[in-house]
Amino acid sequence: MGGLSPEREVSIVTGNSVLEAINRKGLTVLPIHVDHNIGETLKSNPIDLAFIALHGTFGEDGCIQGLLEYFKIPYTGSGVMGSALAYDKLKSKEILKFHGIPTADYEVFYKNQKTDRSLDLPVVVKPTNQGSSLGVTIVKTEGQWKPALEAAFAYSKEVIVEKFIEGKLLAIGMNEMTPMPIVHIRPKSGFYDYEAKYTPGKTEYICPADLEESEAGRCRQTAKQVFQVLRGRGFPRVDVILDNDGVPQVLEMNTIPGMTPTSLLPMAAREIGLGFDDLVVEILKTAQRDYTE
């Protein structure tokens, strides 16, 4: 838990929640706060498997997964390649487009290069490799354009700009290839930013989402496709916007969903009778490695 990214504090909340659940289940658990000495820590503290409660760079992007592979320690979440692909918003968009999976039109900008935009407003500006909506801005006026780029470039040298899509923001937790109940996310501010995600009362959640069965079916099918093409494993979460034509437009797949009091995966699990502690155990059961030699 913890880690080196700007999402460190959220990771600690997730990690502590998971730690308490494992303790309640009577299992032996060692909390490890990740820093630059993580290699030495793993050498001096042998563990059977790792529940990854890290968010952001070095935690979700394949880095810690690669280190755990080196130490031959099974871990939760996607593997090295799956983590890297899902975390990089540009690479995941390219894969989605290649497979014909609906996702918003986009273009890419690089630091200190062109800032001329081809997409009409409104657009969403975001770093290509950051989570928790850090550095993300919905741009509705020309005056917001350059400040939005600057905000995103503070987190990444590469920025993706997507056409804004009107519709319902939905989260689809996955139990391997099986979709869980869909969560409809309704931020009171209209924008699901960092504050809306992690401040109780800032967002309304409806689970299961109030959808036509045909809409829910399309969302579930899309989530399964995303899980496959982005090499999902365990219990990731696929986020989509169900547009006004009833098409699920994919935003991303989160390979290590939050496990905080306001998190979406535990909310979906409760709807199928899976309490938080049992969910943690089920996630632990999926721990594995890419390589088994």
Catalytic choice (5, 83, 254, 263): 254
Which one of 11, 79, 252, 263 is the catalytic residue? 252
Give, as one character, the DSSP assignment of residue 202: S
CA-CA distance, 291 to 293, in Å (whole number)?
A: 6
What is the number of H-type helices and E-type strands within the chain?
10, 9
Active-site residue flag, 83: no
Q: Which residues lie closer than 8 Å to 244 by C-beta, 6 or more apart?
A: 166, 167
The pairing of beta strand 237-243 with beta strand 167-175: antiparallel
Give, as one character, the DSSP assignment of residue 140: -
Measure the CA–CA gap between 181 and 209, rounded to whole angstroms: 8
Catalytic residue from among 11, 131, 198, 218: 198
Q: Active site includes 237?
A: yes
227 CB neighbour count, 10 Å cutoff: 23
Q: What angle do CA 248, 253, 258 make, to 5 degrees?
A: 120
- 132, 156, 175, 263: the catalytic one is 132
Annotated active-site residue 7? The verdict is yes
Any catalytic annotation for residue 198?
A: yes
239: annotated active-site residue: yes
- 258 flagged as catalytic: yes
CB 102 within 8 A of CB 116: no
Spatial separation of the C-alpha atoms in residues 216 and 204, rounded to whole Å: 19
Closest CA to 234 of 292, 291, 177, 171: 177
3-state DSSP helix/strand/coil % of the chain, to nearest 5: 35, 20, 45
62: three-class secondary structure by DSSP: coil
Rg (CA), the chain: 19
Q: Hunting for tokens 């880690």 — which residue is that?
A: 3
Q: Choosing from 5, 7, 78, 131, which is the catalytic residue?
A: 7
Active site residue 252: yes
**Cα 217 off chain centre by:** 22
Q: Active-site residues: which are they?
A: 7, 132, 198, 237, 239, 252, 254, 258
